[in-house]
């Protein structure tokens, strides 16, 4: 419904207001999220950084990092979280991850190797443990892409079907 339709129809105004009041503040949930969120984010980064040497990696760590944003949204309200973390930021997180991944892979091509052949960085540029750094960068890039997509999908689903039909910008 457009703003003109809401202004003309008082029932539509009440319905729109009811939709906006879906968030109920809970001190217990807000406090729990404040305490737990830093640990979940730290664990997500741990999983990303150790993905090359142990189970886990960019995908699992990205989902954990994205879940921190969802916990914040559940605790403090989806709309306030959407205002804090704009759609551009979420898209930049996903796009930046793709660019880093492509940069690491194409950098090896530019130096005469094959795609993601990390040891080329060590041979040509003299970067010690280049394979380790390359793998970590790729894991972080994948984590950024996954976190951006998960958070973007969460915001899209939270906006509802009506927002997509009306063409409203929910960033």
Per-residue pLDDT of the chain (171 residues; tens, 9 = 90+): 444 444 556 565 555 555 555 667 889 999 999 999 999 999 999 998 887 777 778 999 999 999 999 999 999 999 899 999 988 999 999 999 999 999 999 999 999 999 989 889 998 888 888 888 888 899 999 999 999 999 999 999 998 876 666 665 555
In angstroms, the CA 137 to CA 11 distance is 53
In angstroms, the CA 171 to CA 169 distance is 6
Q: What is the pTM of this model?
A: 0.77
Q: Is 71 helix (H, G, I), strand (E, B) or coil?
A: helix
CB 151 within 8 A of CB 70: yes
pLDDT in the model for residue 159: 86
The pair of structure tokens assigned to 134 is 């390359």
Nearest to 147 by CA among 88, 29, 77, 60: 60
Sign, Cα dihedral of 113, 115, 119, 125:
positive
pLDDT in the model for residue 171: 53
- Please provide the size of the chain in residues: 171
pLDDT in the model for residue 130: 87
Burial of 54 (0-12, 13-18, 19+ CB in 10 A): exposed
pLDDT in the model for residue 108: 92
Cβ atoms within 10 Å, residue 25: 9
In angstroms, the CA 132 to CA 83 distance is 37
pLDDT in the model for residue 50: 85
């Amino acid at each position: 419904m457009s703003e003109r339709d809401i202004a003309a129809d008082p029932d539509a105004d009440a319905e729109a207001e009811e939709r906006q009041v879906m968030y109920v503040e809970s001190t217990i949930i807000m406090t729990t999220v404040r305490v737990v969120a830093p640990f979940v984010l730290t664990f997500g980064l741990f999983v990303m950084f150790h993905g090359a040497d142990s189970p886990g990696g960019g995908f699992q760590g990205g989902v954990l990092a994205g879940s921190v944003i969802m916990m914040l949204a559940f605790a403090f309200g989806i709309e306030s979280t959407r205002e804090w973390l704009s759609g551009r930021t979420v898209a930049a997180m996903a796009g930046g991850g793709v660019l880093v991944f492509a940069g690491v892979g194409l950098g090896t091509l530019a130096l005469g190797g094959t795609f993601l052949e990390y040891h080329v960085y060590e041979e040509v540029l003299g970067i010690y443990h280049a394979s380790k750094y390359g793998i970590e960068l790729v894991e972080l890039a994948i984590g950024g892409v996954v976190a951006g997509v998960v958070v973007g999908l969460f915001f899209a689903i939270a906006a509802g079907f009506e927002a997509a039909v009306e063409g409203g910008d929910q960033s």
